[in-house]
Amino acid sequence: NAGVTQTPKFQVLKTGQSMTLQCAQDMNHNSMYWYRQDPGMGLRLIYYSASEGTTDKGEVPNGYNVSRLNKREFSLRLESAAPSQTSVYFCASSGPRTNYGYTFGSGTRLTVV
Amino acid sequence: AQSVAQPEDQVNVAEGNPLTVKCTYSVSGNPYLFWYVQYPNRGLQFLLKYITGDNLVKGSYGFEAEFNKSQTSFHLKKPSALVSDSALYFCAVRDRGNQGGKLIFGQGTELSVKP
C-alpha cells in the first residue's frame, strides 16, 4: 500500500545517546515533515523539507537535525538525547495533487531515560 | 502569524446525538483547512478539507465541516455520533502563500461518545 513508513515504532534511549528516525514515502510527494506530539500540545513542527535538497527549521528544532536523503526519504537525528525529547514522532508528506493535505506515518514512540 | 484554536479539550456526546468539534483559525490570506482524526496508538488520518467553493465540506465516515470566513471558523460536525467516533481530532490550517505546504495544527479535541 502507498504511504509513509516510519522506523522504528518504539525506542528507548539513555540520556546522551544518539539515534536516527527513518521516514520514507512512495507517493512521489515533494514535501516532507517531522512533527512531535506531546499531551496537551498538539503537533509541533520540528523540521520540514519543501523539496529534495532543502530543509528548514520548524517550531521546535533545537536538539534535532534532519537529512533529505532523496525525494523518498527524510530522516530525523537526535545527536544527544534528553528526557525532554520523550515524545511521539510523526513523519508526514504532502504534494500539490492533494492540495498539500498530509499523509502521516504511524509514528515512533521514543522514551529517553 | 498563523494559528489554530480548538477551544474544547474534550467533547462528550451520547451515541445517536449530533456532535460538533470547534475550530477557529488565523491566517494572513485565504486558508486551506483540514480535519484529521487519531485513534489510540495510531497515526493521524485525513477526514476532510476545505480548499475553495461550497462552504459545507463532506468527508469520511459521515463527517462534515462548515467553513465560515466571517467567523474564521471550521467546525467539524456529524448528525448522529457513533461510539466508534471516539478519538482525538485535530484541526489544521495552511496559508496558501506559505512555502513548503506547512500545516499548523490545533491542540486537539478528545471526542468521547457514550452508548
Residue B15: per-residue pLDDT = 97
Q: Please indicate if any CB of chain A lies within 8 Å of the CB of B106.
A: yes
pLDDT 10s digits, A41-50: 889 999 999 9
Closest to B32 (Cβ–Cβ): which among A49, A99, A104?
A99
For residue A99, the chain B residues in CB contact (below 8 A) are 32, 49, 51
Look at residue B53 in the predicted model and tell me its pLDDT. 85
From chain A residues 18-57, the ones with a CB under 8 A of any chain B CB are 31, 33, 35, 40-45, 48-50, 56
Candidate from A42, A94, A107 with C-beta closest to B101:
A94
pLDDT one-digit tens code per residue, B62-109: 999 999 999 999 999 999 999 999 999 999 998 766 666 788 899 999
Q: Are A39 and B90 in contact (CB under 8 A)?
A: no
Helix, strand, coil in percent for chain A, rounding step 5: 5, 50, 40
Residue A7's pLDDT is 94
Distance between CA atoms of A46 and B108, rounded to whole angstroms?
Answer: 18
Q: B79, B18 in Cβ contact below 8 A?
A: yes
Bigger pLDDT: A84 vs A39? A84
Partner residue opposite B43 with nearest CB, options A33, A45, A107 = A107
Closest CA to A90 of B113, B7, B76, B44: B44
What mean pLDDT do residues B36-50 have? 91
CB contacts of A104 in chain B (<8 Å) are 36, 43-45
| A48 contact residues in B (CB cutoff 8 A) | 100, 102
In this prediction, residues B25-41 reach a mean pLDDT of 89
pLDDT score of A1: 61
- Select from A99, A103, A106, A109 the residue whose CB has the most chain B CBs within 10 Å, as the one to mutate to test that interface: A99
Judged against a pLDDT cut of 90, whether residue A39 lies above it is answered with no
pLDDT at residue B98, rounded to an integer = 65
What is the average per-residue pLDDT within A18-45? 93
Element (H, E) at A25: strand A19-25
CA distance A11 to A82: 13
